[in-house]
Every structure is written in C-alpha cells, then in structure tokens.
Structure 1
Amino acid sequence: MSVPVLTRSTLNSGLWEGVIECCGGKAPAFEVCLGQRVLPGLSQTAIGHDSWTLTLPIPGECISEGVQTFVIREAGARVAIGHFSLIAGAPADGDLRGEVALLRAEIDMLKQAFRRQFEQRQV
C-alpha cells in the first residue's frame, strides 16, 4: 500500500473534514492528535476505492489562546499525513504572520519615501 496523502482539508462550524487518498483498497485506521492526545470522535467514510473522508468535531477544550496544531496520521504511527491549525486570541509575539505583516508595512513606507524622493529629484 502507498503512503496516504491528505488531499483536501476544511473547517466549518467546528467540524473538520479531510480527504485521504492512498492505494491498496483496504481502509487504514486514522487518528487526529493534539500534542500527545488522540482526539475522540473521528469518523471515516469510504468515498471511492482509494479515498476516505475523515470527519472530526473539534472538542471545545481544544480551542484556546494561541496556535493549536492538529496532526492527522495513521493510527499508532508517528509519521504525519497532514495537519491543520487553529489560531485564537491575541497573536503571539513571535508569530510569523505578524512579522510578515510588519515587514510589508515597512516596505510600503520605504516605497512611499523612495517615490517622494525620486519625484523631488525629477523637478
């Protein structure tokens, strides 16, 4: 059997849904983990010979301040097939998205200053 691949992942109204594809026809067992904890409630439905839909209602106690990363893997395996993250509350100081937004704002300021300087020299 080939390695399972997470091909689609959505999160809507607290319900995560993902599509796993792999060859072999026999449905492997999957699990979703948060840290070392395997989350209960994962359902698995065949949608084709080599595809399965996984559905997991996100438990309320898993939603908290900061970044929570959920890992999808074959049951008992340590290798991740895929993952999804929830970000809630105040952004962390080291959050990469915040750093990128700050860099973009600084680049915009530099572009404006450069254009003003260039326009003044043209006159």
Structure 2
Amino acid sequence: MGQDVTLTKLRLIEGVWHGVLKRAGRDNWQPEIEVTHLDQPVEGVEVEEDRVEECWYVRVPIPAERISDGVQTFLVRDRQSAAVLGSFAIVAGDALAEDIRAEMGLLRAELDMLKKAFRRHCVETMDE
C-alpha cells in the first residue's frame, strides 16, 4: 500500500473509535482494513467513503470485554498488505493512576528545577 495512506484519529466517543483514512492521489482505491487487539480481530469495523472530502471514515466499536486495567493497544492494518496503518490505545485502571503519579512527580521535579534557576537568575541580574 505504501506510505501514501494516512490514518488520523478523530475521537473516541461512546465506546467507538472514529478515524479518517486518506490516500494521496485520486484513484479507485477501496480500503480493506482489519483491527486487532492482542492478535484477535475486532468485529463490527465500518469503513465509509466520503467522495466530497476524498477520504474514508473508519469506526471501530470497542468491545467491553477488551477493556481492562493497563494499556490496551489496537492495531489498524491493511488487510491485503498487512501493513500497519495506525494504532490507538485505551489506558484504564490502576496502571493509569500509577502513571499519572509518576508523571506528576517528574513535573514537580522539573518545576522545582525551574524555580531554582529563575531565582538564581533574578539574584544574578540584581547584582549587576
């Protein structure tokens, strides 16, 4: 398929991931995509052409049984070439809370470093 195909996330709402698929050039291309989670196919994927915008809208319903603690990654592939067009992830549960706490700790450390550097800068410029 090549690198002339782009898949862009639009939103995730009410358990359905929405994206837009575009291909450079105007030809009679019909995308055949598959979505997998842990190498298992996700059922109910819809691809709908928009001739005005020259793109394809992709809808992927997220089955409730696929949502669990941690990061769940879904791969979107071209069925013919098996090339990965894109992916999306859902993060939930305790793993998310730990990640957020770790990120907050890093942000606090960076903020403290910036405060010290700013104070040092203020003292040095007042001495001049």
Q: Same fold (TM over 0.5)?
A: yes
Match of 2:95 in 1: 91
CA 1:61/1:76 → structure 2, altered by over 3 Å: closer, same or farther? Answer: farther
Match of 2:105 in 1: 102
Match of 2:7 in 1: 6
Cα offset, 1:62, TM superposition: 0.9
Aligned CA-pair RMSD: 3.0
Partners of 1:68 and 1:40 in 2: how far apart?
16
CA 1:82/1:9 → structure 2, altered by over 3 Å: closer, same or farther? Answer: farther
What secondary structure is seen at the aligned counterpart in 1 of 2:85?
Answer: strand
The TM-score, its normalising length taken from structure 2, stands at 0.75
Structure 2 stretches lacking a partner, 5+ long: none
Count the aligned residue pairs: 122
Cα offset, 1:99, TM superposition: 4.5
CA 1:98/1:5 → structure 2, altered by over 3 Å: closer, same or farther? Answer: farther
Whose helix fraction is larger, Structure 1's or Structure 2's? 2
Match of 2:72 in 1: 68
Match of 1:19 in 2: 20
Match of 2:44 in 1: 41
Cα offset, 1:109, TM superposition: 2.1
CA 1:113/1:15 → structure 2, altered by over 3 Å: closer, same or farther? Answer: same
What secondary structure is seen at the aligned counterpart in 2 of 1:91?
Answer: helix
Partners of 1:67 and 1:14 in 2: how far apart?
16
Cα offset, 1:75, TM superposition: 1.4
- Deviation sequence 1:52-95 (CA, Å, 0-9, x none): 11112110011110001111111154321111110000126985
1:57 to 56, 61, 73: 61
Contact conserved, 1:91 with 1:98, CA < 8 A, in 2?
no
Structure 1 stretches lacking a partner, 5+ long: none
